[in-house]
């Protein structure tokens, strides 16, 4: 079974590449973030033509998440149970479902903007709600994973130059502690480092030749419980999909399981 996560940065803009990628990689389940569309505009029919069902939680031009599966899609939960609101809005940042023999969450953690900003506090509160929400699934016997854009680099070498992030979000002790608390629920990072290259970044800014200069960050993660982690046979970041015209600023992260 092949499972992947990908922040597409607008599924409308990325649709031709997304469809071609699904066909060429044989991915069974894709967790999507930053769809940037309302549910009615999500390309469910185009995906259905390829044999995929879709569970979508999206409300408009910002945020939005989805699960796309060709091995079943049941027990769908839209939203983060007990999650905080931001400026009175429960943003569409989480969707979960059972896909064949696994239970999966697709998450798009708030960015945080700046340390001390209201959005930074919202990010930390969102992490705490996520930790509480996954506790039962993480402890279960069913293979379970939380995949997505966590907007946190877990370690110093997960950013291209730590000095460039001094005083900024994504690397603060509080954010990393929130990520560690999630792992303490029985989850582990199933995409080890190094992979096929020294620094398996997943995000590169469009500006200042971020990708050609490999000025990236590893913020797209796959955290699985023991049954999930024990079934992992391979994992990789598909850097090729970050290349060329019309690419997202994130690359897909792929995990192969033997179940």
Which residues are catalytically annotated?
108, 149, 250
Strand partners, 255: 3, 235
Alpha carbon 144 to its chain centroid, in Å, reads 14
Confirm whether residue 250 is marked as ligand binding. yes
Q: 193 with 166: CB under 8 angstroms?
A: no
Angle formed by the axes of helices 173-183 and 118-139, nearest 10°: 10
Token readout for 16 is 């031709």
With b for 16 or more beta-carbon neighbours within 10 A and e for fewer, the 77-102 pattern comes to eebbeebbebeeeebbbbbbbbbbeb
Helix (H, G, I), strand (E, B) or coil at 33: strand
Rounded CA separation 205/235 (Å) = 23
What burial class does residue 16 get, using C-beta atoms within 10 Å of its C-beta: 0-12 exposed, 13-18 middle, 19+ buried?
exposed
Report residue 149 as tokens: 């854009």
Q: 7: annotated binding-site residue?
A: yes
249 assigned binding-site residue: yes
CB 33 within 8 A of CB 5: yes
Binding-site annotation, residues for Mg(2+): 7, 34, 149, 151, 249-250
Binding-site annotation, residues: 7, 34, 149, 151, 249-250
């Amino acid at each position: 079974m092949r499972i992947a996560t990908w922040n597409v940065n607008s599924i409308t803009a990325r649709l031709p590449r997304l469809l071609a990628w699904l066909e060429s990689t044989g991915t069974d389940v894709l967790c999507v973030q930053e769809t940037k569309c309302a549910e009615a505009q999500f390309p469910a029919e185009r995906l259905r033509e390829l044999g995929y069902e879709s569970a979508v939680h999206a409300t408009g031009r910002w945020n939005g998440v989805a699960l796309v599966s060709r091995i079943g899609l049941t027990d769908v939960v839209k939203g983060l149970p007990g999650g905080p609101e931001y400026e009175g809005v429960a943003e569409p940042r989480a969707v979960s479902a059972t896909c064949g023999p696994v239970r999966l969450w697709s998450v798009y953690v708030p960015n945080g903007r700046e340390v001390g900003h209201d959005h930074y506090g919202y990010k930390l509160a969102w992490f705490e709600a996520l930790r509480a929400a996954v506790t039962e699934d993480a402890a279960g016997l069913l293979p379970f994973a939380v995949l997505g854009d966590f907007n946190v680099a877990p370690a110093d070498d997960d950013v291209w130059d730590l000095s460039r992030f001094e005083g900024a979000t994504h690397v603060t002790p509080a954010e990393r502690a929130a990520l560690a608390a999630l792992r303490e629920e029985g989850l582990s990072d199933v995409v080890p480092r190094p992979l096929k290259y020294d620094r398996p970044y997943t995000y590169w800014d469009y500006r200042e030749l971020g990708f050609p200069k490999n000025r990236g960050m590893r913020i797209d993660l796959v955290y699985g419980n023991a049954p999930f982690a024990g079934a992992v046979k391979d994992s990789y970041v598909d850097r090729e999909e970050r290349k060329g015209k019309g690419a997202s600023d994130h690359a897909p992260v792929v995990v192969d399981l033997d179940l």
